Amino acid sequence: MTVSRLAKLRSLLVEKQLDGVLISRPENRAYISGFTGSSGWLLVSQEKATLVTDFRYVEQATNQSPHFEVQKLTTTALALLAELAGAMAIGKLGFEGDFVTVDEFGQYQAHFTGRELVAASGLVESLRLLKDETEVETMGKAAAIADAAWSEIQSLIKPGAVERDLAVELEYRMKKLGADGNAFDIIVASGVRSSLPHGRASEKVVEQGDLVTFDFGALYKGYCSDMTRTVMVGEPSEKQREIYEIVLESQMRGVAACKPGMTGKELDEVCRAHIREKGYGEMFGHGTGHGVGRQIHEGPSVSVRGERLLEPGMVVTIEPGIYIPGWGGVRVEDTVVITATGCERLTKSPKDLLIL
């Protein structure tokens, strides 16, 4: 796997007319090398692939990255990397311009003297867009963990429950089921707080008559899952049921329409059009979805800005919502993988309105 990813990266170096690339973003480093430690740099040219790390991780890096020459830090990282770049005859060096800070870039300029530094943002990310079979399988496991944890906590969602306690229970159940952690900070938003698209769990107490939105995901072997379910505590009002059914229909239309060859913008419009036709277009202010993988938000975009064509192997979310300030909101979300003919849901929890 690492060999094929290195080969693809080297093809991009030729395309971008770069002699080498310096990779420091953790997700990109793990994707290209397999190394999962918290500190390290990759320096890749056409002839060599070097992983620089400190004493703590040398043994781990050697085991996880057999196709890289592991170099232990005995001086500052940039001093060693500059020395290696010279030995590798790298004249034009790409770096992750969208990840490196201004201060770090100043240090790059001070150390890589005599070399042309070129911002090569998105180089590795372009490879990460298409998930291979192993990645999809891993993400399916992350989704299954989240599905199972969701099933386990439903009996706890009732009047008197505290949002933060429900989030803790979800995290605990996911970890017990094999997750390495949360894919992101869990959202639990009840009652009027459910109008907050990113209403992270608070001290608010769930009350009878509340809509409660849960947005969460598991992190498993470096990959994320992402799902949202909105439930009803007590019998729904006519308006609550109406809003839920509109959002659910919008989301299901998106899943049904999702296929290779369409743009993220076109998929966004499928979901957005239904909500707009029902008179709630102004209450759906975020994109319909986003790519998921080693990061919870990555390419491709499923929004009005999503010009990229969807391709088999891409993994995206489909998550329309309606949010009414002072009243509440509803969102329903699945993570799907694009297939040759359509898409397949990785998150499989039921979506009909759950009344607790």
User: At 25, is the pLDDT very low, low, confident or very high (cuts 50, 70, 90)?
Assistant: very high
Same domain, 165 and 109: no
Residue 7 sits in a domain whose CATH number is: 3.40.350.10
User: Tell me, what's the pLDDT at 158?
Assistant: 98
Same domain for 76 and 160, yes or no, is no
Residue 115 shares a structural domain with residue 158: no
pLDDT tens string 198-250: 999 999 999 999 999 999 999 999 999 999 999 999 999 999 999 999 999 99
Domain CATH for 331: 3.90.230.10
Give how far the C-alpha of residue 57 lies from the chain's centroid of Cα atoms, to the nearest Å: 26
- Which of these three, 88, 112, 128, is where a domain ends? 128
Q: Are residues 121 and 249 in the same domain?
A: no
Task: Flag whether the pTM goes above 0.85.
Answer: yes
Distance set, CA 255 to CA 150, 268, 272, 309 (Å)? 21, 11, 13, 16
Residue-wise pLDDT for 46-96, tens only, equals 999 999 999 999 999 999 999 999 999 999 999 999 999 999 999 999 999
Whether residue 124 is found in the same domain as residue 137: no
pLDDT reading at 313 higher than 80: yes
Q: Is the pLDDT of residue 33 over 80?
A: yes
How do strand 218-220 and strand 181-182 relate by DSSP bridges? antiparallel
Statement to judge: residues 250 and 332 lie in one domain: yes
User: Same domain, yes or no, for 122 and 137?
Assistant: no
- Do both 70 and 161 map to the same domain? no
Residue 93 shares a structural domain with residue 160: no
- Give the domain-ending residue among 78, 94, 128: 128
> Which of 302, 334, 342 has its CA nearest to residue 143?
334
Of the CA atoms within 13 Å of residue 190, those in its CB half-sphere come to 25
What local confidence, expressed as pLDDT, does residue 351 receive? 98
pLDDT for res 307: 97
What integer pLDDT is reported at residue 11 of this predicted model?
97
Show the domain range for 282: 133-355
Mean pLDDT over 308-312 rounds to 98
Residues 343, 210 share a domain: yes
Number of domains present in the structure of the chain: 2
Q: Are residues 6 and 146 in the same domain?
A: no
List the one residue out of 332, 318, 298, 150 whose CA is nearest residue 224.
298
Looking at residue 2, its pLDDT comes to 81
Percentage of residues in the chain with pLDDT exceeding 90? 99
Domain endpoint, select from 99, 128, 157: 128
Cα–Cα distances (Å) from 206 to 73, 211, 320, 330, in that order, read 52, 9, 23, 16
Same domain, 334 and 188: yes
Among 244, 266, 242, 243, residue whose Cα is nearest residue 254: 266
